[in-house]
């Protein structure tokens, strides 16, 4: 038993020491320079140059403000890998465009951090509703001609609607999102139904259904349409220890892989911000027998199974895109500082 515990402690200390003084390592086959092309993302470029893509700000010599408001990188720009006086790698940008001028002037936006087409629906639809929002949400109290369900062009009568807001989204309460440790309800996965426009404000305002994805009826809730911008953020690790959990995988399944969207039980209140990269890990135990032939459960160092890129934050929850996975990511797996 003593030998088992000693081996475990030594393994953990070794891992911690290595992590503390780890130098930046270049990716295998890292190029000396790369010409940015349409379709590139910051995450793609980080992985092209670095074994640990979340260390992107270090090789760019970015400060906190530059991480939040980075210089835009455009197709045609050239990223050059250099070394400083101490021999440490660094990246610099050459703005000389190596593509035809007529083509470069058509590019109006810099490259995104991660593929925007994957996360755009999660920026516009209220797929997570926080507990505090439920008390303030407007609700449908009656429908046109007392229909059970209504669709495009039909009218609904809504209580507690802000008269100054015209465009709204309709949802129905879904699965509660529970913290696996405290068992507290942190929010709800909203079941998105469609959109509506307020056409006559009042105590019981009149709304017209504009688009319908699912049947809409009495008791369904409405939230003002909010479209968070696709901000220019840089992949970076938190400067504090995060010890969160995956509590939901979008799509009603329990496992995720590369390209999946998951929800973690950490948010703005916990210091999580857009652009944070977290290591997805699984705690493991093995069964050994001590000198008395009694079974003993021995925890071994966590196994990394992937990386998570946070792209939208709420007060107590966050959405993340699985950008790397060595195996399936399960509900209750850990999201930690890499």
φ and ψ of 288, to 5 deg: -125, 170
pTM, rounded to two decimals:
0.77
Q: Say how many C-beta atoms besides its own lie within 10 A of residue 157's C-beta.
A: 18
Residue whose tokens read 């200390």: 13
**For residues 270 and 335, is the Cβ–Cβ distance under 8 A?**
no
Q: Say how many C-beta atoms besides its own lie within 10 A of residue 321's C-beta.
A: 23
> CB-based burial of residue 256 (10 Å sphere; 0-12 exposed, 13-18 middle, 19+ buried)?
buried
Among positive and negative, which fits the CA dihedral 90, 93, 99, 104? Answer: positive
Please tell me the total number of residues recorded for the chain in this structure.
338
**For residues 143 and 104, is the Cβ–Cβ distance under 8 A?**
no
Report the alpha-carbon distance of residue 228 to residue 13 in Å, rounded.
43
Residue whose tokens read 């305002």: 205
According to DSSP, the residues that pair with 217 across neighbouring strands are 149
Report the alpha-carbon distance of residue 170 to residue 212 in Å, rounded.
9
Report the alpha-carbon distance of residue 325 to residue 27 in Å, rounded.
17
Q: Say how many C-beta atoms besides its own lie within 10 A of residue 219's C-beta.
A: 9
Q: b/e map of 245-255 (b: 16 or more CB within 10 Å)?
A: bbbbbbeeeee
Calculate the CA dihedral of residues 93, 97, 103, 106 and round it to 10 degrees. 40
CA 213 vs CA 112, 120, 172, 173, 193: distances in Å: 29, 17, 12, 15, 5
Two structure tokens written together for 20: 């503390």
Q: Which domains does the chain have, with CATH numbers?
A: 23-123 (no CATH), 127-224 (no CATH), 237-338 (2.40.10)
Report the alpha-carbon distance of residue 97 to residue 101 in Å, rounded.
8
Write out the chain's pLDDT in tens, 338 residues.
Answer: 444 434 333 333 333 333 445 788 999 999 999 999 998 999 999 999 999 999 999 998 888 888 877 778 888 899 999 888 788 898 888 765 544 544 444 444 678 888 888 887 787 676 788 776 766 789 999 998 888 999 999 999 999 999 999 999 998 877 889 999 899 999 888 888 999 999 999 999 999 999 998 899 999 999 898 776 667 788 999 999 999 999 999 877 788 899 999 999 999 999 999 999 999 999 877 777 777 778 777 777 889 999 999 999 989 999 999 999 998 999 999 999 99
**For residues 306 and 325, is the Cβ–Cβ distance under 8 A?**
yes
Two structure tokens written together for 239: 């400067």
What per-residue confidence (pLDDT) applies to 136? Answer: 77
According to DSSP, the residues that pair with 223 across neighbouring strands are 169
Report the alpha-carbon distance of residue 262 to residue 173 in Å, rounded.
18
């Amino acid at each position: 038993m003593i030998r088992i515990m000693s081996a475990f402690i030594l393994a953990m200390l070794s891992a911690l020491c290595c992590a503390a003084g780890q130098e930046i390592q270049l990716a295998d086959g890292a190029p000396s320079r790369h010409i940015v092309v349409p379709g590139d993302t910051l995450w793609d470029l980080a992985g092209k140059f670095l074994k640990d893509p979340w260390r992107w700000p270090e090789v760019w010599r970015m400060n906190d403000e530059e991480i939040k408001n980075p210089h835009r990188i455009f197709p045609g720009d050239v990223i050059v890998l250099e070394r400083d006086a101490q021999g440490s790698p660094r990246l610099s940008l050459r703005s000389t465009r190596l593509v035809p001028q007529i083509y470069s002037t058509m590019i109006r936006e810099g490259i995104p951090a991660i593929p925007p087409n994957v996360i755009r629906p999660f920026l516009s639809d209220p797929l997570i509703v926080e507990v505090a929002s439920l008390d303030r949400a407007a609700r449908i109290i009656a429908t046109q001609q007392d229909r059970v369900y209504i669709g495009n062009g039909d009218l609904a009568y809504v209580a507690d609607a802000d008269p100054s807001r015209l465009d709204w989204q309709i949802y129905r309460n879904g699965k509660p999102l529970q913290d696996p440790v405290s068992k507290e309800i942190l929010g709800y996965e909203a079941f998105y139904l469609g959109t509506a426009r307020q056409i006559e404000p009042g105590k019981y305002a009149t709304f017209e259904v504009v688009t319908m994805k699912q049947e809409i009826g009495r008791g369904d809730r409405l939230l003002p349409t909010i479209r968070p911008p696709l901000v220019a953020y840089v992949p970076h690790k938190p400067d504090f220890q995060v010890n969160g959990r995956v509590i939901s995988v979008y799509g009603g399944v329990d496992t995720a892989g590369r390209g999946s969207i998951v929800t973690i039980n950490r948010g703005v209140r916990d210091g999580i911000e857009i652009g944070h990269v977290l290591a997805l890990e699984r705690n493991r135990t093995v069964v050994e027998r001590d000198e008395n032939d009694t079974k003993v459960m021995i925890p071994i160092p966590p196994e990394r199974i992937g990386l998570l890129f946070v792209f939208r934050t709420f007060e107590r929850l966050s959405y993340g895109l699985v950008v790397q996975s060595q195996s399936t990511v399960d509900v209750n797996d850990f999201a930690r500082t890499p």
